[in-house]
Amino acid sequence: MNASAGTSRDFRGLIREVPDFPKPGISFKDMTPLLGNAAAFSAALSEMASWYSHEEVAYVVGIEARGFILGSPLAQLLHAGFIPVRKEGKLPSASRRAAYELEYGMSAIEIHEDSIPHGAPVIIVDDLLATGGTARATLDLLEQLHATVLGCAFLMELSWFDGRMRLQPHEIRSLITFSS
Ligand code: AMP
């Protein structure tokens, strides 16, 4: 990446589209080329952090697994704690659970029930917004814990699924939008 690193087009060029993964008909958006490019990874995180530069974010809630990769450094940039939302059965202590439908299957996620103090301001981070089912389930968990959700941040968004609709009224930000 050169001095112009950081525009949406630069980032998009570092997403590899893998047809028919993990199932026929799914075009998987692989962010590993972007992660492997130090300048691009840093610029992407800086831009995502800038969305919240005027907010007090107490916790970044990252969704397993790719939400961990983006959420942990983002938490550091925002001087916030990091809270993992994990696939069912992975968290060791008492947890809340929410089931949801994926673009390619069903799943359930969990959060430690004592992880967030009542009312604490949080953001949700994941790699990609498709139908919004995963983020909606995460919002449901955060509502159970009475967290204050400031917004949801994604590296990528597949706009034709209209996942934003399911996440209303929360503010949704994404760095790269795929429209077709
Ligand atoms: P959804 O719940 O439909 O918004 O799907 C978002 C979740 O599924 C994210 O955690 C993504 O990592 C994953 N995902 C869904 N579709 C894709 C895709 N086409 N490429 C990469 N990841 C995807």
CATH code of domain 54-178: 3.40.50.2020
Work out the average pLDDT over 42-52.
98
Q: pLDDT digits over 52-95, tens only?
A: 999 999 999 999 999 999 999 999 999 999 999 999 999 999 99
Name the residue at shortest CA distance from atom 3 of ligand 1: 131
Q: Are 116 and 95 in contact (CB under 8 A)?
A: no
pLDDT of res. 1: 40
Query: Does residue 131 have its Cβ closer than 6 Å to ligand 1?
Result: yes
pLDDT of res. 3: 39
Work out the average pLDDT over 149-176.
97
Q: Which of 66, 86, 96, 136 is catalytic?
A: 66
Q: How many angstroms separate the alpha carbon of residue 3 from the centre of ligand 1? A: 31
Q: Are 154 and 132 in contact (CB under 8 A)?
A: no
Ligand 1 atom, smallest distance to 28 CA: 20
Q: Please spell the DSSP secondary structure of 54-80, one letter per residue.
A: TS---EEEEETTHHHHHHHHHHHHTT-
Query: Does residue 139 have its Cβ closer than 6 Å to ligand 1?
Result: no
Ligand 1 atom, smallest distance to 27 CA: 19
Closest C-alpha to 133, from 115, 109, 111 = 109
Start-to-end CA span in the chain (Å): 25
Q: Is 9 helix (H, G, I), strand (E, B) or coil?
A: helix
pLDDT of res. 106: 86
Q: How many angstroms separate the alpha carbon of residue 72 from the centre of ligand 1? A: 19
Contacts of 19 (CB under 8 A, 6+ apart): 27, 28
Tokens of 36: 């492997």
Count of residues for the chain?
180
Q: pLDDT digits over 115-141, tens only?
A: 999 999 999 999 999 999 999 999 999
Query: Would residue 64 show up in a list of annotated catalytic residues for this protein?
Result: no
Query: Does residue 107 have its Cβ closer than 6 Å to ligand 1?
Result: no
Q: Are 129 and 163 in contact (CB under 8 A)?
A: yes
